[in-house]
Amino acid sequence: MIVICTHNSRRSHLGQLWLALAADYYKLPTIETFSGGTEATLFHPNAIAAVKRVGFEVSIEAQAKNPIYNIQWKANQEPYQAFSKRFEEAPNPTQEFAAIMVCTEADEGCPFVSGTDFRIALPFEDPKAFDGTPQEEEKYDERCRQIGTEMLYVMSKVSK
């Protein structure tokens, strides 16, 4: 599964991480999760802070304009590498995958995703609208929890 948003900076990373955690929780080892954007920017620091607040362990592997982060949710786990990339770039699959569009802009701007078995729109409001405001942390946490809840629900249905 590739979770796709415009910049691959917030919602797509949240979706990928929660889907991965849910696949692990429901013991679905054949499900792999990825994220990508219609363009690449960086995994936004506010989204990183939100995943840390809900309990993900985050460390930086490579400092750069587009840093690479290692993310874990349990001890002795092979870390997930998170960094911004276009949805058709490695390590994302190029065939036989599901595309989950988590923002309206990417959904409308990318009506065809080559190689996908199916495509679904599951848009979430962008917490970026609250960057630099007193509600910033609250809105990022709200979106993180919402995406987490919905991705856990999806995987609970897959596991049956």
Residue 135 scores a pLDDT above 70: yes
CA gap 33, 139 in Å, rounded? 24
Residue 146 contacts by C-beta under 8 Å, 6 or more apart in sequence?
A: 124
Question: What separation in angstroms does the CA of 55 have from each of 14, 32, 65?
Answer: 13, 21, 25
Residue 150 scores a pLDDT above 90: yes
Q: What is the pLDDT of residue 31?
A: 93
Characterize the bridge pairing of strands 116-121 and 2-5: unpaired
Residue 112 scores a pLDDT above 90: no
Burial of 136 (0-12, 13-18, 19+ CB in 10 A): middle
Residue 18 scores a pLDDT above 90: yes
Question: What separation in angstroms does the CA of 59 have from each of 9, 41, 63, 69?
Answer: 16, 19, 11, 6
> pLDDT for 21-36, tens place per residue?
999 999 999 999 999 9
**Three-class secondary structure of residue 146 per DSSP:** helix
62 touches 82 (CB < 8 A)? no
> pLDDT for 50-78, tens place per residue?
999 999 999 999 888 999 999 999 999 99
Is 2-158 CATH 3.40.50.1860?
A: no
Beta bridge partners, 80, equal: 71
